[in-house]
Amino acid sequence: MELSERKNEIIGLGEKLLAKLLDKGVDSVAILIDSHISRQVRFAVNQIVATKTWDETNIGVMIDKDKKVVVFEIGLASLSDIDEISNQLMMYIKNVSPREDYAPLPEPSMKYPELKDNWDENILKNPEMHVNLAFDVIDSGKKAGAKRMAGTLLSKAMFLCLITSNGSKLTQESTQVYLDVRAFMDKESTGHASIAGTKLSQIDASKVAEEAASTAKLSQKYQTIDPGRYDTFFTYDATAALLNLVGGATSAFAVETGQSFFIKKLHTNVAPEIVNLKDDPLFSGAYNSRAFDDEGSPTRANELIVSGELKTYLHNRFTAKKFGSELTGNAGWISPRAWNLVLEPGDQSINEMIENIRNGLVIHNVTYIRFQNYMAGDFSGIIRDGVFLVKNGEIAAAVRGLRLSDNTLRMLSNIIAIGKERRQIFHWWLEQDIPVLTAPIIVKDVNYTKAVK
């Protein structure tokens, strides 16, 4: 069944479940239905190794009774047994305690924002375009000198519906696509680049492939250097990985549970004046476009950091009650979250930024980031797919044997330059799964330790 053909059926089943739960005496109900068709093309060793299309529908249910809250997720097939599901939910809610921070579901809004450039019919109708993009990566990477190209192109066409007992019946359709590429000269000489958007036409496969291939080629001649502090140019992907940490830390749930380095930092300077960061699910072509959050509040652009000052945490109904704040349109039922991080660009080109580094590093990718102390912000991560020593504004050699080991608050405060050209980034390595529209950045005195295999 096509995505468009099943909408009424899905909504109808959701409404039946909502009515059944209300008949059992719950105070409120919210049902969130996410139905999507995904297409994936995987390639390795210069050839396509897998193409896959899958169809999924997930249904989340939240019920409130006597200030108790239960959240439950089921698949579409299970929804056929509505009586059994409603009985299970009533059993679960008997065994939970009332929430001290309880707040009712927000009332529906009179107006919701319109999404722009968030749908591409080609994702559903023209699967061959996905394969063609993968071939473009392979061909462009080989022409640029890489021995092997590998990666993933993943797209989704999604139907989202929220039905609540207080009258919300909200739907939206959107598409998203990302390309994640790695190039190889040998096992250690690798390059990486990625790009994301809402339309296949936004995916510049050749450019991404050429970047990854040129990085892999440069990585062949390498040296080891001493651990220590180095001014560092972080590329699009590396910056996106770091900004994911920042976005995750703005969740009021993370602050409340001690998993944020922004505890007691609200309305204080956490970065220099050149840093302006917002969460915006409404910008044209936003990878994670959203017109409403999981509680039915309209989404909006929220200024997180303005001229270096932390302006807000992100809230759902419970954290807003606990913090005495307003809703921000970022609700998840358990934890509020950022939709799309947007870093305001600077005024320097990539070449200008690197030319201004006297003795430092270029980092193309940061993966497997782990915190040693969430509240302090101490973390470490693997740096890979292009680590280069810069001497007097020029790349001198590739570098191996280092690990990024620093503090998020210190790194934020040490940002000294932001590029003027931005790219939307999303891929599976991002720790918080937050898409980022970002330019490269330079951070002074970043700390590196010796990598241990």
The pLDDT of residue 373 is 97
Say how far apart CA 171 and CA 162 lie, in whole Å.
6
User: Over the stretch 169-223, which tens digit does the pLDDT of each residue have?
Assistant: 999 999 999 999 999 999 899 999 999 999 999 999 999 999 999 999 999 999 9
Q: Which letter, b or e, does each residue of 61-98 get, where b requires 16 or more Cβ atoms within 10 Å of its Cβ? A: bbbbbeebbbbeebebeebeebeebbeebbeebeeeee
Structure tokens at 403: 């690990």
Domains of the chain: 3-212 (3.30.2290.10), 221-450 (no CATH)
pTM for this structure?
Answer: 0.95
The pLDDT of residue 78 is 66
Residues 6+ apart with CB under 8 A from 249: 255, 259, 260, 261, 262, 377, 408
The pLDDT of residue 149 is 98
The pLDDT of residue 428 is 85
Give the bridge partners for 10, in sequence order: none
User: Over the stretch 46-65, which tens digit does the pLDDT of each residue have?
Assistant: 999 999 999 998 899 999 99
The pLDDT of residue 86 is 85
Say how far apart CA 198 and CA 183 lie, in whole Å.
24
The pLDDT of residue 447 is 98
φ, ψ of residue 397 in degrees (nearest 5): -170, 160
Give the bridge partners for 36, in sequence order: 56, 158
Per-10-residue mean pLDDT, the chain, length 453: 70 88 94 94 97 92 96 78 83 93 96 96 96 98 98 96 94 96 95 98 97 97 94 98 98 98 98 98 97 98 98 98 97 98 97 96 97 97 97 96 97 98 94 97 98 77
Give the bridge partners for 289, in sequence order: none
The pLDDT of residue 3 is 61
Q: Cα angle vertex 173, ends 167, 176, to 5°?
A: 140
